[in-house]
């Protein structure tokens, strides 16, 4: 198996005023919180958004692991829909001391390039900043962070910077090269 260098960039916002929202795209685009823990739906989003950019870590998760993760207090998934069809999602994972990580964010390939990504990221970051309003007892958000890497979509870093995230760490590591699995076996073009 061949190893390849992968650069990982970590970015953050340290105040709600850091967020530079994108304009809403034209057409019928809505963003809705998935309030019912559904391993099937969450796995669909994960595999469909990340299948062509080598998201593989959760593909081995069992149903029980998905359920346990989704039922953690204040873990939220916000789903973008275009004309009623899921287009992408953003997953928020609150950590200690008012920190919220945007763990996953992206669009299903057919919906990229339609100006939905900036709008979804803006919405997700805003929901990270007001997470405590929906979860009594949680500390107010003091920091929102995420990471992206050189395997992600070509416009990912630019989108994060345009939404007001700033770089705070860069790492380069060798990783085993894996084929992009697609949303299901055999779906991604060779």
The answer to whether 57 and 108 are in contact (CB under 8 A) is: no
Residue 165 maps to a domain = yes
The answer to whether 87 and 44 are in contact (CB under 8 A) is: no
Residue 181 maps to a domain = no
pLDDT in tens, 10-53: 999 999 999 999 999 999 999 999 999 999 999 999 999 998 88
pLDDT in tens, 53-70: 888 889 999 999 999 999
Q: Which residues of 120-152 are buried (b: 16+ CB within 10 A; e: fewer)?
A: bbbbbbbbbbebbeeeeeeeebebbbbbbbebb
Domain containing residue 26: CATH number = 3.40.630.30
The two three-digit tokens of residue 3, written as one number: 């190893």
Residue 166 maps to a domain = yes
Residue 92 maps to a domain = yes
pLDDT in tens, 79-119: 999 999 999 999 999 998 999 999 999 999 999 999 999 99
DSSP state of 28: S
Give the Cβ contact number of residue 98 at 10 Å.
15
Residue 100 maps to a domain = yes
Residue 36 maps to a domain = yes
Q: State the average pLDDT for the chain.
A: 93
Q: What domain range is 54 assigned to? A: 3-176
Q: What is the predicted pLDDT for the residue at 32?
A: 98
Provide the domain count of the chain.
Answer: 1
Q: Which residues of 66-83 are buried (b: 16+ CB within 10 A; e: fewer)?
A: beebbeeeebbbbbbbbe
Residue 189 maps to a domain = no
């Amino acid at each position: 198996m061949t190893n390849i260098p992968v650069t990982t960039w970590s970015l953050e916002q340290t105040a709600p005023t850091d967020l530079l929202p994108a304009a809403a795209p034209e057409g019928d685009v809505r963003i809705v919180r998935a309030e019912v823990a559904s391993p099937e739906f969450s796995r669909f989003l994960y595999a469909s958004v990340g299948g062509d950019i080598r998201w593989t870590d959760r593909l081995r998760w069992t149903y029980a692991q998905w359920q346990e993760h989704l039922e953690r207090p204040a873990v939220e998934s916000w789903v973008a829909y275009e004309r009623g069809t899921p287009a992408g999602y953003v997953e928020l994972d609150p950590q200690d001391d008012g920190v919220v990580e945007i763990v996953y964010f992206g669009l299903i390939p057919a919906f990229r390039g339609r100006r939905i990504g900036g709008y979804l990221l803006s919405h997700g970051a805003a929901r990270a900043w007001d997470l405590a309003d929906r979860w009594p007892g949680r500390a107010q958000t003091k920091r929102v962070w995420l990471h992206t890497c050189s395997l992600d979509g070509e416009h990912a870093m630019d989108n994060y910077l345009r939404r007001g995230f700033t770089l705070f760490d860069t790492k380069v590591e060798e990783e085993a090269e894996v084929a992009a699995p697609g949303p299901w076996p055999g779906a991604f073009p060779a």
